[in-house]
Amino acid sequence: MKTITIDELKGIDSSLERIVSEYRFQQEWTALDILKLPESLVNNLDKLGLVLCEDLIDAPVLHEFACRCAERALSRIDNPDSRSVAAIAAKRAWLEDETKDEELSEASADVCDAAFFAGSVTDDVDAAYWAANAASWTIAWYAAYWSASYAAYCSADVAAERAWQVDVLIKILEEEE
């Protein structure tokens, strides 16, 4: 599992000083270490902001996380546009080397159209489509971060959604161990 040092953690954000002082004897950190910190020390949004990078999490895991966030966002709306569902399927096929970058780009463009046209429906629908669009991107950390962000926007309870995201990312990472 990938790690960062306590000095690298300090360099990310000065607001992490509480973590550094409470856990000063832990010299190396994994994504799981950070995700499992008490929320009283680091809120779930900040945890995700710290770990959603290829320095700590392999790209395929970030992509899978993006897909799960987008699927959850789409599950909240009635009759999601088929292009949004197809974009996530294309992403998973791309991860398995069953499709090419060009096909994934086409699926991404299609769901982008769905998102633009849904803008006048409701904010929830719009955010869910943008989550699916973000999940279809090929840059791992970007897909993971933005898919999670849009998924949180279409939740009635953003804090609960962030807690779910941290929990599901922990599960994915533990499966990878």
Domain-wise residue ranges, the chain = 4-51, 59-176
Are the C-beta atoms of 123 and 153 separated by less than 8 Å? yes
Residue 28 has pLDDT above 90, yes or no: no
The predicted-structure confidence for 126-139, as pLDDT tens digits, reads as follows 788 889 889 888 89
| pLDDT number for residue 125 | 76
The predicted-structure confidence for 152-172, as pLDDT tens digits, reads as follows 988 889 999 999 999 999 999
The predicted-structure confidence for 94-111, as pLDDT tens digits, reads as follows 999 999 999 999 998 888
What CA–CA distance (Å, rounded) separates 64 from 66? 5
Q: Which two tokens stand for residue 177?
A: 């161990």
The rounded mean pLDDT for the chain is 87
